[in-house]
Amino acid sequence: NDPEACIRKEAEEELGYRLQNVERLFSPYMSPGSVTERLWFFIARYSPADRISAGGGAQEEGEDIEVLEMPLDEALAGIADGRIIDAKTIILIQHLKLNPIAA
């Protein structure tokens, strides 16, 4: 499975956006030494013109995903106050803060 093809498919299913230019950032092990799973992190710009559906996931896969969009400062505040607790999401938000040209 090609990670870039997978992220494009998941973005369409879960977010409702067809991404054009996807940039691969890095592929860390989340817990080296105990878990062999590697995650691929990507970023991409999108606009309202890229919206193809409401998103929410694939019903046949039992997905029921709430799509939230917020400004970067609000996302950082969400990390600080505990609203955002998913490590993958935190890593990507912090990447955007550290690399404002990517935002």
Q: How far apart are CA 20 and CA 11, in angstroms?
A: 11
Structural domain boundaries, residue 62: 1-67
- Residue 74 sits in the same domain as residue 62: no
- Residue 54 sits in the same domain as residue 5: yes
- Residue 60 sits in the same domain as residue 84: no
Q: What is the pLDDT of residue 1?
A: 78
DSSP assignment of 22-51:
EEEEE--BSSTTT---B--EEEE---GGGB
- Residue 88 sits in the same domain as residue 59: no
Q: Distance from CA of residue 84 to its chain's centroid?
A: 13
Q: What is the pLDDT along the chain (103 residues), one digit of tens a residue?
A: 799 999 999 999 999 999 999 999 999 998 888 989 999 999 999 999 999 999 999 888 888 999 999 999 999 999 999 999 999 999 999 999 999 876 6
- Residue 100 sits in the same domain as residue 59: no
- Residue 9 sits in the same domain as residue 42: yes
- Residue 7 sits in the same domain as residue 48: yes
